[in-house]
Amino acid sequence: MNPTDPVRCGWCSDDPVYQRYHDEEWGVPCRDAGSLFEMLMLEGFQAGLSWITVLRKREHYRQVYRDFDIAFMANQSDDELHALLQDPGIIRNRLKVYGARRNARAWQRLCADHDPVDWLWQFVGGQPLIRHAATLSEIPAQTAEAKAMSKALQKADFTFVGPTICYAFMQATGMVMDHTADCHCYPALAAG
């Protein structure tokens, strides 16, 4: 680590892709429906893998899913999904690839009845939950809010939305602010 670099959360490596994500996106409140959908998909793709693996593939995912165009994803045929499984630029897991189509269809149904931004943010009362963790060990892998979101998403027919994935999604989209107190991002985000 360069001594002139700002202090970041302990999970952030010296990879520039990771640092940019940490500094500019992680923990910043997101209220854009398209961005929330993209992040929910990416968190599901990450299941069982490291987050940096997904971040490195993010731009390619944006290409193959046309910037996470929900109608495009929902209408993909089995043949198109089978072809996608041959693409080394994505995580070639059959359940995840087919799950993305399922989730796009579930998102369409959710949008027919609700504002998806308000619906997702309801699990934190509409405002970011500000944590004041001094160390990474104080940050949970899941919470009651994440369990409630997971249960509701599963009921709405989403897949790859377990409580741990939902908590990571909440952290990523700023529903929860989990930057540690020594991190350079903490003061501005903790102030709300």
As annotated, the active-site residues are 21, 43, 51
82 is in an annotated binding site: no
Q: Is 132 annotated as a binding residue?
A: no
Backbone φ and ψ of 139, nearest 5°: -95, 125
Backbone angles phi, psi at 34, to 5 degrees: -65, -40
And the tokens for 189? 């985000």
| Residue-wise DSSP of 92-144 | --HHHHHHHHHHHHHHHHHHHHS-HHHHHHGGGTTS-EE---SSGGGS-S--H
Residue 183 is assigned to a ligand binding site: yes
Phi, psi of 131 (to 5 degrees): -95, 155
In contact, 118 and 126? CB cutoff 8 Å: yes
Residue 166 in marked binding region: no
Are 178 and 134 in contact, with CB atoms under 8 Å apart? no
Residues of each annotated binding site for Zn(2+)? 9, 22, 179, 183
